Each structure stands twice: as structure tokens, then as C-alpha cells.
Amino acid sequence: MEKYRGGSIYPSKSRAIYLFLVSLLSNIIVTFCILFAGCCVIFSILYETSPIEGPSMQPTLNATGNTDQAYVRKGASYTYGDIIVLKMDNIWIIKRVIALPGDEISMYAGHDKYVHVFRNGEELEEPYILSKEDMVNCMNSFQQLSSITEQKSNISYDSNNHMIYTVPQGHVFVLGDNRANSLDCSENGAYSMRDVRGKVEYVTPKNESYIAFIYKTFFTFGLAK
């Protein structure tokens, strides 16, 4: 019988290390791809994208005039100060939550002589609005709610004759941060919560791709907002 005259049937130590590293790298790449794909699927289920156009939420959103893009958490709960997307007359608008069902809203001059929003008698601190001077126009629009037949049942007055708007059950009161250039509840009264699409949780430049956003959010631990 002919005897085997070759070398060892086992690879050399250096080649064994090489094969191990190749296998490890391949597994890491496959795992990353699976994880990334899973994140994309989960994110697409939880979130929708919505362009932010126009000046109504400046300076918070769309500050430069270029269109931003909002990632909206569908069906997410929201509270005071959150930014939400909702439908008004078959168009989607983006505004800030000021009051919830049962809250009483007023607008009049506060301690600094500027017009402020008051919720349940407490003056709101609103560092996000574009200009305090713009609140005069907002207040004037707000006071016109008393002339809208559908809103009269929500209107009352305090001892100082300040108009009070009570947010109806199942409704939310929202305003734009740019009070001089925003179509919102100051003109139309509260909107139905059934028309709320979701809460804005992330904002990115319009030209940032979905894949780039997913990677930045989940794999570099950097939130977009």
C-alpha cells in the first residue's frame, strides 16, 4: 500500500488564524445586515415621514426656509409642548400641543406687558415662539372664536372679562410657534383627536436619506432631533 507522503492535513497556524478572522468578519457583516434590515422594518411600522413646509413652526422647524422632514410616531401619546401632525380640511399640518380636553385657554397681557397664553389660569413660558410681538395678532384671532357659532358653547369670561376657551372632550388645542403666520386653533378652535396622525419625534434635513437616518439613529446613537 502506498503511504501518504504529504504534509499535515491541518492548516498552518497562520492560515488557521486567517480563516477564523474571515469567518468572524463574515458573521459580523451578516449579523449587521440582518439587524439593520430588522430596524428598517420596525421603524417603518412605527413611523411615517412628513415634509415640513412653510413658516408656521419657525424658528423650531424649517428655520432656514428649506423643507425639513419629520419622522412621525404613529398613534403615539402626546402632551403639553409636544409637536404633532394632524389633519385640517384634508391637509396635514404640524403644530405644538398647547392644551388638552377640559383645559381652559386665555390670551392677554402678562407680567411683562406682552400677550401670553394662559392655561387653566397659569401663564405659559414659551421660549420656542418666534416673537412675543406676534402674540397680539394671535390674541385677536383667538378672540374671534366667540363669533363662530360652533364654538360659542366653549366660550366663557372671567371676572376681568378675559375670554376663556374650554377645550372640548376628544379635542386638542394647538398653535404654531410662528404666531404671526400660522393657521391653527387660534382661528378655528380645537381639533378632533381623531385627526391626529402622530407625534413628531425626529426631524432631519429633507435631503437626508431614510437609510442614513436609520444608521445614525440606531448604530451611532445620535438622534436626529
Tens-digit pLDDT profile for residues 141-197: 999 999 998 999 999 999 999 999 999 999 999 999 999 889 899 998 999 999 999
Q: What is the structure's pLDDT at 221?
A: 40
Residue of 137, 140, 104, 109 lying closest to 119 (CA atoms):
104
H/E element holding 38?
Answer: helix 13-46
Measured CA to CA in angstroms, residue 111 lies from 2, 56, 91, 181 at distances of: 105, 26, 37, 25
Percent of the chain with pLDDT over 90: 44
Calculate ∠ Cα 225-69-75, nearest 5°: 80
State percent of the chain over pLDDT 70.
83
User: What pLDDT, on the 0 to 100 scale, is given for residue 224?
Assistant: 35
Mean pLDDT, the chain, rounded, equals 83
Q: Which residues contact 166 (CB under 8 A, 6 or more apart)?
A: 102, 103, 104, 105, 154, 155, 156
Question: Which pLDDT band holds residue 222 (cuts at 50, 70, 90)?
Answer: very low
Query: For 46-214, which CATH superfamily applies?
Result: Umud Fragment, subunit A (2.10.109.10)
What confidence tier does 18 reach under pLDDT thresholds 50, 70, 90?
confident
More confident of the two residues 35 and 3: 35
Give the torsion through C-alpha atoms of 110, 113, 115, 116, to 10 deg: -30
Cell of 179: 404666531
Q: How confident is the model at residue 11 (pLDDT cuts 50, 70, 90)?
A: low
